[in-house]
Copies of this chain bind each other. A is one copy, B any other.
C-alpha cells in the first residue's frame, strides 16, 4: 500500500435519482415499442450503454440523455416528467 496519503474525493453518485431515471427510460422505451438495440441504434449509442442505463449501473452524461430523447422523439420536458427522489 502506498504510504502517501492520497486524498479520496467523493464524487456524487445519486443512486435514487439514477434509479428513477432508469425506470422512466425503460417505461418510455417499452411504451414506444423499441428494443434496447433499436433505441441504441437510433440514438447512436451502444447497446451495452442502454442496458447499463436501464439497470442503473452508470450515471450517464447529458449528451447521452439528449441522444435518447431525440431517438425516442420524446421531449426532455416529458422524459424528465417524474419525481426526483430525495437524496
Interface residues in chain A, defined as those with a beta carbon under 8 Å from any beta carbon in chain B: 11-14, 17-18, 21, 44-45, 59-67, 69-70, 75-77, 79-84, 86-87
Given contacts A13-B63, A14-B62, A62-B21, A69 and B44 within 8 Å (CB-CB): no
Q: Could you list 30 examples of A-B contacts with CB < 8 Å?
A: A11-B63, A12-B45, A12-B63, A12-B64, A12-B67, A13-B63, A14-B62, A14-B67, A18-B62, A21-B62, A59-B61, A59-B62, A60-B61, A60-B62, A62-B65, A66-B84, A66-B87, A67-B87, A69-B84, A70-B86, A75-B83, A75-B84, A76-B80, A76-B82, A77-B77, A77-B80, A77-B81, A77-B82, A79-B80, A80-B80
